Amino acid sequence: MNDADVSKQIQQMVRFIRQEAEEKANEISVSAEEEFNIEKLQLVEAEKKKIKQEYERKEKQVQIRRKIEYSMQLNASRLKVLQAQDDLVNAMKEDASKQLLKVSHDHHHYKHLLKDLIVQGLLRLKEPSVLLRCRREDTHLVESVLDSAKHEYAQKEKVHEPEIIIDHVHLPPAPSHHNEHGPSCSGGVVLASRDGKIVFENTLDARLDVVFRKKLPEIRRSLFGQVAV
């Protein structure tokens, strides 16, 4: 084989190697591009997922804040309604308290009422000797009904007439403009055992409080119905 044939054969081998190298390089390039595209797609999807999760997290936060704000506004509205209801109920009780003042103005009716209140107190205490406290202005009316109250109690209980001692300490006077914020009493009596361990408050104000507490659910239903706020 001469030099020309050797040179030709070498050139063919070089072309073959070059072609094979180019094909391999092209294959590597294509493969690298595919891997790049896949990795890029994965990164894009990962970022999309991250953005979506962040959006969902913020959306939940917004929903939670809305629910909290709604709940706060709803509670505030409920409190306003309840306060308005309480104000109305308290206004009714205050008006009823003012009406109590008229009871003692009718001495004939009030005298009989005092006797009934004393009898009721005696029936509650069931003591042979009791202390009685009343307003200073009611002392003469109380004294005038003591005997009939003791007699009525004795007949009902089939016992001897009890001893009733009028206390020298009096209940507060009726409320007035001169003593708006001080202690006051619209009338009635307070009875206690001699040792002071048992006390039965049977004033008009105390009876109003008892009746009002018992009737409060009925009053609320009458005024506001059963509608939940």
CA 28 from centre of chain: 75
Would the pTM count as exceeding 0.75? no
Q: How far apart (Å, rounded) are the C-alpha atoms in residues 132 and 167?
A: 6
pLDDT tens track of the chain, all 229 residues?
Answer: 677 777 888 888 888 888 888 888 888 888 888 888 888 888 888 888 889 888 889 999 999 999 999 999 989 888 888 888 888 888 888 888 888 888 999 999 999 999 999 999 999 999 999 999 999 999 999 999 999 999 999 999 999 999 999 999 999 998 876 666 788 999 999 999 999 899 999 999 999 999 989 988 888 888 888 654 4
**What single string gives the DSSP state of each residue in 16-47?**
HHHHHHHHHHHHHHHHHHHHHHHHHHHHHHHH
**Region for residue 188 given its phi and psi (left: phi exceeds 0; alpha: psi -120 to 50; beta: otherwise):** left
